[in-house]
């Protein structure tokens, strides 16, 4: 069964060892870099990050990072990111792709966001490379709608909570 666990010292190495296909490199951030960004977001006090290991029973299969108030750390970020939750990162190891783990991970991430651990927010936001059709279709299936804004070179989409 797919479930989320906090990234800890115990599972850090397993999560940073997860890999993707070379063709996905332009679309998916490195997990080590993502964990460093989570640390910086939290210690700066400007944003909040929740990094999760994705497990299939006892096997680590992916990584998810949820954020709050992303606009406070991103230069020239769209205003919609301010005071809202975001799916900052999603990756499923190449050995576990195509099995529905990404879809279930997004579902679980949205369940967590709906608990509103940082307080009330109107939206969940995310962004993706405009060439990443897989991400576009996955997020649209949950009701995310593109805003027309760009966050750097990525398309911004939102889901009303």
pLDDT digits (tens, 9 = 90+) for 36-54: 999 988 898 888 999 999 9
Looking at residue 76, its pLDDT comes to 74
Distinct helix (H) and strand (E) counts, the chain: 4, 7
Looking at residue 152, its pLDDT comes to 86
Looking at residue 73, its pLDDT comes to 58
List the beta bridge partners of residue 65.
Answer: 51, 89
Contacts of residue 93, Cβ cutoff 8 Å, sequence gap at least 6: 18, 19, 20, 60, 61, 62
List the beta bridge partners of residue 68.
Answer: 48, 85
Could you give the domains of the chain? 2-160 (3.40.630.30)
pLDDT digits (tens, 9 = 90+) for 92-102: 999 999 999 99
Looking at residue 122, its pLDDT comes to 95
Looking at residue 77, its pLDDT comes to 77
143-160: average pLDDT: 94
């Amino acid at each position: 069964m797919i479930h989320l666990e906090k990234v800890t010292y115990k599972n850090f190495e397993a999560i940073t060892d997860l890999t993707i296909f070379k063709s996905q490199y332009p679309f998916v951030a490195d997990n080590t870099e993502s964990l460093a960004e989570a640390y910086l977001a939290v210690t700066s006090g400007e944003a909040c990050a929740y990094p999760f290991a994705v497990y299939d029973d006892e096997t680590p299969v992916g990584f998810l990072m949820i954020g709050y108030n992303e606009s406070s750390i991103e230069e020239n970020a769209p205003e919609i990111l301010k005071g809202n939750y975001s799916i900052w990162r999603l990756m499923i190891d190449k050995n576990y792709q195509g099995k529905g783990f990404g879809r279930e991970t997004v579902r679980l991430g949205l369940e967590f966001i709906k608990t509103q651990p940082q307080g009330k927010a109107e939206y969940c936001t995310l962004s993706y490379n405009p060439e990443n059709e897989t991400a576009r279709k996955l997020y649209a299936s949950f009701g995310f709608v593109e805003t027309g804004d760009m966050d750097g070179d990525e398309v911004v989409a939102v889901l009303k909570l």
